[in-house]
Amino acid sequence: MRVAPISFGLLLLAASAPASSAPTMQECTAIADDAERLGCYDAAAAASPAPVLLEDEPQMTALSDRWELEQATQRGRWAITPYKPNYFLLASYNTLFDDDIYVDLPPDETLDPVEAKFQISFKVKLGEDIVKHNLDLWFAYTQLAFWQVYNTDLSAPFRETNYEPEVFFLYRTDYRVLGMRARGMQLGFNHQSNGRTEPLSRSWNRLVAGALFETDRTATWLRLWYRIPESEEKDDNPDIEEYIGRGDIVVAYTLSKHTVAATLRNNLQFSDNRGSIQLDYTFPLFRNIRGYAQYFNGYGESLIQYNESSNTIGLGVLLTDWL
pLDDT attached to residue 49 = 58
- Residue ranges, comma separated, of all CATH 2.40.230.10 domains in the chain are 62-320
- Say if CB 182 and CB 214 are below 8 A apart: no
- Say if CB 323 and CB 254 are below 8 A apart: yes
Query: What type of residue is 31?
Result: I
Q: Is the pLDDT of residue 211 over 90?
A: yes
For residue range 301-323, list pLDDT tens digits in order.
999 999 999 999 999 999 999 88
Q: Is the pLDDT of residue 44 over 80?
A: no
Using 50, 70 and 90 to split pLDDT, how confident is the model at 24?
Answer: confident
Indicate the DSSP class of residue 105: S
For residue range 46-89, list pLDDT tens digits in order.
665 554 444 455 566 889 899 999 888 889 999 999 999 999 99
- How far apart CA 80 and CA 15 sit, in angstroms, is 56
Percent of the chain with pLDDT over 90: 69
> What ranges in the chain are assigned the alpha helix state H?
8-16, 25-28, 34-47, 62-67, 240-244
**Catalytic one among 16, 92, 121, 193?**
193
For residue range 242-285, list pLDDT tens digits in order.
999 999 999 999 998 999 999 999 999 999 999 999 999 999 99
pLDDT attached to residue 58 = 54
Q: Is the pTM of this model over 0.85?
A: no
- In degrees, to the nearest 5, what angle opens at C-alpha 122 toward C-alphas 118 and 126? 160
> What is the CATH superfamily name and number for domain 62-320?
Phospholipase A1 (2.40.230.10)
pLDDT attached to residue 162 = 99
pLDDT attached to residue 305 = 95
- How far apart CA 244 and CA 258 sit, in angstroms, is 29
63-77, 227-241, 289-303, range with the lowest pLDDT: 63-77
Using 50, 70 and 90 to split pLDDT, how confident is the model at 14?
Answer: very low
- How far apart CA 289 and CA 308 sit, in angstroms, is 33
Known catalytic membership, residue 258: no
CA of 51: how far to CAs of 48, 54, 64, 84, in Å? Answer: 9, 10, 23, 37
Using 50, 70 and 90 to split pLDDT, how confident is the model at 1?
Answer: very low
Known catalytic membership, residue 133: no
Nearest to 123 by CA among 84, 81, 87, 74: 81
**Catalytic one among 7, 121, 191, 201?**
191
3-state secondary structure at position 318: strand
Q: Is the pLDDT of residue 15 over 60?
A: no
Question: Pick the residue with more confidence: 222 or 37?
Answer: 222
